[in-house]
Homo-oligomer: A and B are copies of this chain.
């Protein structure tokens, strides 16, 4: 089965995407894989499978490989003797900007290329944590209380310490701080503003139980992964999360009862249905006093959360069988024709 892994992207998570692609490659040995790399200048390269290692990209060796352009129906490789179109379905594995902000989804849909990954509306509601809150309120899924700070805006924080300070649009804990004392707040805010013009502040809940659940839609129903209780210290910083993207060993099931498992699945389903079709997503939940709160939606989780599934190759086969297609409207010229004929032209 053919599949193209698209990775890289001009984002703070560029390196993470490379690591993720290398991990997923190892997990999909039965597939006939191709690799397309999007570099920091938004150029696409076809990567030789044997060169799929991190240093290929950090050393710029990809620039010697064939450049591709986006064309209707696939990525096209031009040569002196003509052109070849790569038409296999794409797995969008670009984390963060480009991949999760809706750009890649729009490009692939516009050029009529089938892909696994969140569609553009799904990206809007998961990439920016502010809009995840809008979504939660609209569909009746509870989330953590929050305040928004935007750059160059003078205002006071109403939440009490400790708080967690996050850039609105970044994943992988980049730019995130825990603030225990008001004296540290401005510094944490400045750190987050280095990455985004909008910053989300939430209460930091000590000793909160955290559960991760991944899933995807196929055959009209949602297929769930096991529930994981991620190991954590206070929270995962970038370096630890980075190592997380290398994960390929299946983890053990969280020690929770069926009732809680079903509640988590039910919240996941509310988030997923009607928005995330075509994607495998991971939802990260908190449980506080028996109440389930959605913390974050990962529309392209690190290494596709392969470690949460028993048979990851089957997951990708399922997803490929259930990809939503971009509907291209057939244009008509009825009004122009009727006006032209009324004018006698």
Contacts and interface: CB of A to CB of B under 8 A. Distances in A.
Contact of A55 (B70, B128, B135, B345): B345
A105 to B, nearest CB: 8
A14 B332 contact: yes
Interface stretch (A82-90, A109-117, A256-264, A281-289): A109-117
Contact of A103 (B120, B329, B331): B120
A193 interface: no
Contact of A10 (B120, B329, B334): B329
Contacts of A138: 133-134, 137
A228 interface: no
Interface string A52-91: 0011011000000000011110000000000000000000
A11 B69 contact: no
Nearest to A109: B103
Nearest to A102: B120
A40 B336 contact: no
A330 B40 contact: yes
A43 B69 contact: no
Contact of A124 (B43, B121, B330): B121
A330 B40 CA distance: 6
Nearest to A101: B120
Contacts of A121: 102, 124, 128, 131
Interface of A: 8, 10-12, 14-15, 18, 39-43, 54-55, 57-58, 69-72, 97-98, 101-103, 105-107, 109-112, 120-121, 124-125, 128, 131, 133-135, 137-138, 150, 198, 239, 242, 274, 328-337, 339-340, 345
Given A55-B345, A58-B337, A98 B110 contact: yes
Nearest to A195: B329
Given A111-B42, A120-B120, A15 B55 contact: no
A246 B64 CA distance: 52
Contacts of A107: 106-107, 110
Contacts of A242: 335
B97 A106 contact: no
A10 B97 contact: no
Contacts of A70: 70
A150 B274 CA distance: 9
A104 to B, nearest CB: 8
A131 B125 CA distance: 10
Contact of A137 (B71, B101, B137, B332): B137
B120 A239 contact: no
23 contacts: A10-B328, A10-B329, A14-B332, A15-B331, A15-B336, A39-B331, A40-B330, A42-B110, A54-B339, A54-B340, A57-B336, A70-B70, A97-B329, A102-B102, A102-B120, A102-B121, A103-B106, A103-B110, A103-B120, A106-B120, A120-B120, A121-B128, A134-B138
